[in-house]
């Protein structure tokens, strides 16, 4: 389901498909430097998101992740270090071949994602939100003070 801001020739989904197709085409066919290829693809993706809200990329889950992303960036190092101390890297050792390693990885990934999300949300609520509000209040007071000085001068 695509939510369109305005009607144009391309929908947001078409831009998304064009971006995905461009990734494969640019990587395989063109002999440009890698960073240039990815720059073109991300430019198409940015244009897509600027013109159309794509429910696949803009939804409650991605908005939540965007809000807690800085806290997640800061806290995931600590969480990974904490998990290393408990050595959860060999939970499963009953499957033949390398399947136990894959399941261990998936279990650790899920554990890190859940713990990091929880810690990041708490950090966002306790630290980031209050300081963002305080910053907005400071800016508002400075703007009001500047307007008063402009009125006195003018």
**Per-residue pLDDT reduced to its tens digit, 94-145:** 666 677 777 777 888 888 899 999 999 999 999 999 999 999 999 999 999 8
Cβ atoms 44, 18 nearer than 8 A: yes
Instruction: Convert the pLDDT of each residue in 21-30 to its tens digit.
Output: 666 666 666 6
142 and 102 belong to one structural domain: yes
Counted domains in the chain: 2
- The two tokens of residue 82 are 């904490």
Model pLDDT, residue 36: 74
What is each CA distance from 51 to 4, 60, 111, in whole angstroms? 8, 19, 36
Is the domain of 81 the same as that of 142?
Answer: yes
3-state helix, strand, coil in the chain (%, to 5): 80, 5, 20
Query: Is the same domain home to 64 and 112?
Result: yes
Whole-model pTM: value is 0.60
Q: Count of CB atoms within 10 A of residue 99's CB?
A: 11
């Amino acid at each position: 389901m695509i939510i369109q801001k305005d009607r144009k020739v391309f929908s947001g989904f078409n831009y998304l498909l064009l971006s995905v197709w461009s990734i494969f085409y640019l990587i395989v066919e063109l002999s440009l430097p890698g960073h240039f290829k990815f720059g073109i693809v991300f430019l198409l993706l940015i244009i897509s998101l600027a013109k159309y809200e794509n429910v696949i990329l803009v939804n409650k889950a991605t908005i939540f992740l965007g809000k807690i992303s800085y806290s997640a960036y800061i806290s995931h190092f600590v969480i990974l270090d904490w998990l290393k101390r408990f050595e959860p890297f060999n939970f499963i050792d009953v499957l033949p071949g390398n399947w136990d390693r894959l399941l261990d990885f998936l279990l650790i990934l899920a554990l890190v994602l859940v713990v990091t999300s929880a810690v990041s949300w708490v950090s966002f609520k306790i630290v980031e939100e209050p300081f963002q509000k305080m910053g907005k209040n400071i800016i508002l007071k400075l703007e009001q003070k500047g307007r008063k000085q402009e009125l006195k001068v003018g």
